[in-house]
Amino acid sequence: MEVRRLVKHFPVRGGVFNTIQGHVKAVNGVSLHINPGEVVGIVGESGCGKSTLGKCIIRLIEPTSGSIRFDGIDITALGHAEMMPFRRQMQIIFQDPYSSLNPRLTVRKLLREAIRFHGVTPEAQIEEYIDLLIARVGLRKDAKDKFPHEFSGGQRQRIGIARALALKPRFIVADEPVSALDVSIQAQVLNLMMQLKDEFGLTLAFISHDLKVIEHFCDRVMVMYLGHIVETLPCLDLHERAMHPYTRALLGANPIDDPAERSAAGLKVLQGDVPSPFNPPKGCPFQGRCPLVIDRCRVEMPPLTPRGNSTDDRRVACWAVPDAPHTK
């Protein structure tokens, strides 16, 4: 998956004649790549554009501009019929297991609908295939004849995972798949996803606001702020080598597990609010909250530039980080 300069702006209408008054700039020129078999985390505060980016990548919503390439093929402008073969290869696990399942359909019908539409398996084998999917996500066989309201949140999310896997996809966008679940259930669902990722050789874009989940589950992390990618780096280096002030602030706000360390370190809560995407600031989007802000940050948007050696794909968008390349 390769994305280049992806933009998504939502028009805001108002006034007597319902004219366009401006745009909510949800995603602003994002470029990224995801290698086969890789799990890339996309992290940031609520409202930074993570979910919009994920939905644009698989064209669940249409981007304003930019290009999306899957397996080297540009799918950005494909029509409905041309897009259908790619729909089967790209799926999504939604954030809310309570609203993403049709309440009027049993699990059997939910899965059968997608399987039959895309011709995943012959008609005579559909029931056997459904039984296999349900067992693989850790549900009992009789679950297929129940409605979504008869399940707990964790069980519903397992059904959502089964629905995504039903088409045998190669790429999945997991949009905060555990954020609506209890902590004890989160670990079960994450472990299940790790097993399925290895078993089916999946490639994932894993969206979350929780850096601990990202660090546990992903190979590489991309940090988003107000529609921009501000840093990318391997998850193994997240604590030791994160460079952008916003990434450092997210790490400082993470709860500490050890009570002894917790009392000594405390939480470093980032002050201020995320600017409005309807009227973003000029220059760096993080300038109003950044402890390292310099004059250049207020007038010029820093590019996402490589740092360190060329093999670890480490990039940072910041003028104030010490080894930033200051061009005249």
Write the DSSP string, 137-161: TT--GGGGGS-GGGS-HHHHHHHHH
How confident is the model at residue 23, as a pLDDT?
Answer: 92
Q: By percentage, how much of the chain surpasses pLDDT 90? A: 63
How confident is the model at residue 185, as a pLDDT?
Answer: 86
Contact residues for 244 (Cβ-Cβ < 8 A; gap 6+) = 223, 230, 231, 316, 317, 318, 321
Closest-CA residue to 208 (of 246, 174, 248): 174
Lowest mean pLDDT among 16-30, 230-244, 297-311: 297-311
Q: Under a CB-based contact definition with an 8 Å cutoff, are residues 243 and 324 in contact?
A: no
Give the distance from CA 189 to its chain's centroid. 16
> What sign results for the dihedral spanned by CA atoms 106, 197, 82, 130?
negative
| 51: exposed, middle or buried (Cβ count in 10 Å: 0-12, 13-18, 19+) | buried
pLDDT band (50, 70, 90) for residue 327: very low
Chain segment 160-199, per-residue pLDDT in tens: 999 999 999 999 999 998 887 888 888 888 999 999 999 9
Q: Under a CB-based contact definition with an 8 Å cutoff, are residues 197 and 283 in contact?
A: no
Q: Under a CB-based contact definition with an 8 Å cutoff, are residues 320 and 292 in contact?
A: yes
Q: Is the pLDDT of residue 282 over 50?
A: yes
How confident is the model at residue 309, as a pLDDT?
Answer: 63
Q: Is the pLDDT of residue 325 over 70?
A: no
How confident is the model at residue 324, as a pLDDT?
Answer: 45
Give the distance from CA 277 to its chain's centroid. 18
Mean pLDDT of 123-134: 94
Average predicted confidence (pLDDT) for the chain: 88
* Paired tokens of 206: 């894993």
Chain segment 75-127, per-residue pLDDT in tens: 998 999 999 999 999 999 998 888 889 999 999 999 999 999 999 999 999 99
β partners of residue 232: 222, 315
Chain segment 190-238, per-residue pLDDT in tens: 999 999 999 989 999 999 988 888 888 899 999 999 999 999 999 988 8
pTM to 2 decimals?
0.90
- Classify strands 203-208 and 39-43 as parallel, antiparallel or unpaired: parallel
